[in-house]
Amino acid sequence: MSDLEPGAAPAIDLREAMRTARSLRRFRPDPVSDEVLARCLEAATWAPSGSNAQSWKFLVLRSPEVRAVLGPAFREGWDWVRTIYGQSAEPPPADDTSRQARLTRTMLHLVDNFENVPVYVLFCYRLTGFVPEFIEGGSIFPAMQNFLLAARAEGLGTVPSTWFTFAEDKLRSIIGIPDDWRIAALVAAGWPVGRHGPVRRRPLHTVTALDTWDNPFLTP
Amino acid sequence: MSDLEPGAAPAIDLREAMRTARSLRRFRPDPVSDEVLARCLEAATWAPSGSNAQSWKFLVLRSPEVRAVLGPAFREGWDWVRTIYGQSAEPPPADDTSRQARLTRTMLHLVDNFENVPVYVLFCYRLTGFVPEFIEGGSIFPAMQNFLLAARAEGLGTVPSTWFTFAEDKLRSIIGIPDDWRIAALVAAGWPVGRHGPVRRRPLHTVTALDTWDNPFLTP
């Protein structure tokens, strides 16, 4: 398709989009069109970056070769996290309807089906070397966030993951990522089975302060 | 003030906010209320983070002690960047009305007045240690981006900066930042003299690819 076809991005209030852009992990098999992805990626380009350098590249991934690598990587990532949190490899009992059990079942579904995700988007970044690596993230993760919010507006489900790290060498080789570029994040996307809804976060007064570390900015 | 007072956040379409959330560097002296900041910070908490760990803390900074450190740090940062880009220490000639000259004048204004910025917000993060530092940024910079977008909705001008690094030790000491926390970004904010407007970015087709690095996702 050609660049910047205007298309018809759905309207949504900014705060409503941010407040309900929770990760969704179950996708219908329907494909995600280039038009929708282009609108979300265009939003990614609107993010700020240090000196407006835009030292980024966004890859849309759908090939069987990439899928064959990402599936096992994601399962390895899951096993690793599961072990850290001391979680069983078995699915929760059918009669457990707790929030945690439902989240685990949804995650297991994604783990079992990761190579069948409709589309992945890889956020790549070339380090400038001007600031420590952690701080360079300020020039790529805002673009990922814009993408996630734009996807929310489209009704598209997304979930970012760091588990590409379990297959990073293979992935770099298949895609042909130059040595001086880093992978920042992998986002899985598709038309969701579930619905977007309010995110769950700690209260604001517990994560804010005024002037000094322990001086409250807000009262409970 | 108490937590989560609803207030009246202005409505704005998501894409309109993202498309026009450019950095603004000239601020009116008027204070920025706690209510407005709380709404922007609440939006920050809605951002995703790995395992929803929310390993973040947001500091509102207005104290004279912090200002006294940030002003010189910002001027040091400017000198450093100016040297890298081989730019003169003199302001552009008055008859130069090019975009670059205007940007430089605006930057010089901020450099000269950095301790008088109405308010700063410091985004702090405790590393989890589960992934490389660069990738951990995925759990804090989306929060910064949500803050910037929410500020755009309020009509508040913002500009993120990495130049806190030039006074990081002093800043940590004044604020009392624990050793295991990192500073991710400093955002200067205030009611702007100028207006928000479209960001300038490279065309989408130049920063996207499909499946392999050099395979175009979009055509020009």
How many A/B residue pairs have CB atoms within 8 Å?
288
CA pair distance A149, A142, nearest whole angstrom: 10
pLDDT at B82: 87
Mean pLDDT of B112-118: 97
Mean pLDDT of A176-183: 98
Going across the sheet that includes B56-61, the strands are A208-210, B56-61, B119-126, B181-190, B157-161
Task: Name every chain A residue with its beta carbon within 8 A of the beta carbon of B151.
Answer: none
Q: Do B59 and A210 touch (CB under 8 A)?
A: yes
Tokens found for residue B132: 């490389």
Per-residue pLDDT tens over the stretch B145-177 = 999 999 999 999 999 999 999 999 999 999 999
Amino acid at B90: E
Mean pLDDT of A111-119: 97
Mean pLDDT of B10-34: 97
Residue B132 CA, distance from chain mean position: 23
Task: Name every chain B residue with its beta carbon within 8 A of the beta carbon of A11.
Answer: 13-15
Mean pLDDT of A144-162: 98
Residue B15 sits at the chain A interface (C-beta within 8 Å): yes
Specify the residue for token string 């990738």.
Answer: B135
SS3 (DSSP) at B102:
helix
pLDDT at B40: 98
Amino acid at B138: G
CA pair distance B159, B186, nearest whole angstrom: 8
Question: ipTM above 0.90?
Answer: yes
For B60, nearest residue in chain A (alpha carbons): A210
Q: Model confidence at A200, in pLDDT bands (50, 70, 90)?
A: very high
Number of neighbouring beta carbons within 10 Å of residue A127: 15
Contact of B124 with B58, CB cutoff 8 Å: yes
CB under 8 Å to A100, separation ≥6 — which residues? A92
- Taking only residues 76 to 135 of chain B, the set having a beta carbon closer than 8 angstroms to any beta carbon of chain A reads 81, 84, 127, 130-135
Q: Do B220 and A2 touch (CB under 8 A)?
A: yes
- Taking only residues 139 to 158 of chain B, the set having a beta carbon closer than 8 angstroms to any beta carbon of chain A reads 140-142, 144-146, 148-150, 153
pLDDT at B178: 98
- Write the CA distances from B31 to A63, A156, B36, B119, B191, integer angstroms: 53, 39, 11, 8, 8
- Write the CA distances from B44 to A131, A209, B38, B123, integer angstroms: 23, 14, 10, 10
Per-residue pLDDT tens over the stretch B69-107 = 999 999 999 999 888 888 888 889 999 999 889 988 999
Q: Do A142 and B141 touch (CB under 8 A)?
A: yes
**Residue B123 pairs with which residues in a beta bridge?**
B58, B185
pLDDT at B3: 47
- Write the CA distances from A18 to A14, A183, B122, integer angstroms: 6, 24, 20
pLDDT at A86: 83
Where do the domains of chain A lie, and which CATH numbers do they carry?
22-206 (3.40.109.10)
Residue A120 CA, distance from chain mean position: 9
CA pair distance A69, B105, nearest whole angstrom: 50
Specify the residue for token string 């096992």.
Answer: A72
CA pair distance A156, A191, nearest whole angstrom: 5
* Structure-derived torsion over alpha carbons of residues B22, B28, B33, B39, reported in degrees to the nearest 10: -10
CB under 8 Å to A208, separation ≥6 — which residues? A216, A217, A218, B38, B41, B57, B58, B59, B60
Residue predicted with more confidence, B31 or A82:
B31
Mean pLDDT of B9-27: 96
Instruction: Give this prediction's pTM.
Output: 0.96
Least confident of A3-12, A203-212, B190-199: A3-12
CA pair distance B154, B161, nearest whole angstrom: 20
CA pair distance A130, A136, nearest whole angstrom: 8
pLDDT at A8: 82
Q: Do A208 and B59 touch (CB under 8 A)?
A: yes
- Write the CA distances from A134 to A94, B107, B172, integer angstroms: 42, 25, 17
Q: Do B60 and A212 touch (CB under 8 A)?
A: no
H or E element at residue A58: strand A56-61
Per-residue pLDDT tens over the stretch A34-43 = 999 999 999 9
pLDDT at B188: 98
